[in-house]
Structure 1
């Protein structure tokens, strides 16, 4: 089964899988809460709508207000002080 839109294309638009999941989850929650507040029923699942918004470029990391430090997470490669001390 082929997924549409392709995962690789979505990751290219956002930068990383972590950001993609975070962005889509936040937007899906936002869509769901708005529909609940307004008493609307949704024709599509909020997650599908959010994914389509990323794919079409309507939804970006900057448009959702993701903090800059979350945009490019860097792995912690330096040992902590407690780990390097000998007891």
Structure 2
């Protein structure tokens, strides 16, 4: 049996699509020479990346989420400026 199981990983990730992208991008980084963020006996980049996702050593943020956070920050700054009369 594979550890962590797909069911365990899907509890952490929003969707299978996100999970696959997250693991594949991290595995590519490992192949290119990045250091592992977890201790494991596995040597395969995909296995290491999967373990990193499971242990929440890596995460993701969608560009939509980042844009919404940026817009919220700008709105708060504008509201503060208006309140101060600038």
Instruction: Give the one of 44, 65, 68 matched to 2:64.
Output: 68
Structure 1 stretches of 4+ moved >3 Å: none
SS in 2 for 1:34: coil
Question: Could you say which structure has the greater relative contact order, defined with CA pairs below 8 angstroms and 6 or more residues apart?
Answer: 1
Distance 2:6 2:45 in 1: 17
Provide TM-score, normalisation by structure 1.
Answer: 0.59
Greater Rg over alpha carbons, structure: 2
2:53 maps to 1:57 = no
Structure 2 stretches lacking a partner, 5+ long: 35-41, 66-86
Higher helix share: 2
Deviation at 1:58? 0.4
Structure 1 stretches lacking a partner, 5+ long: 36-42, 70-87
